[in-house]
Amino acid sequence: MPSNISQTILKMASQRAPDKTVCPSEIARALFPDDWRKHMADVRNEAIKLQEAGEVQITQKGKAVNLEHLKGPVRIKFISPQS
């Protein structure tokens, strides 16, 4: 399941305009429409792994966030290979 979550994060985030983000709940709802809330931690954890790999950026209020202090709502932004 984690690779499916990662693939969906990358797909959905890359389909946004370069300065736009995706909400983790959008990914959870797309993958688990009936019980998406219980998968939110899985989505966030995969987003963290993708940020550590340099593929996405996790933001809060439009600013990059320190993963050690991640708390509250976040957004996920695709990092283009051309960037």
The domains of the chain are located at: 2-78
Measured distance CA(8)–CA(82) in Å, rounded = 20
| pLDDT tens by residue, the chain, 83 residues | 678 999 999 999 999 998 899 999 999 999 999 999 999 999 999 999 999 999 999 999 999 998 888 888 999 999 977 64
Q: Which amino acid is at 14?
A: S
Measured distance CA(31)–CA(83) in Å, rounded = 28
What pTM does this model have?
0.90
The total number of residues written for the chain in this structure: 83
pLDDT at 45: 95
Phi and psi (nearest 5°) for 63?
-120, 150
pLDDT at 73: 93
Q: Tell whether the torsion through CA atoms of 27, 20, 10 and 72 is positive or negative.
A: negative
Q: For domain 2-78, which CATH number applies: 3.40.50.300, 1.10.10.10, 3.30.460.80, 3.40.50.720?
A: 1.10.10.10
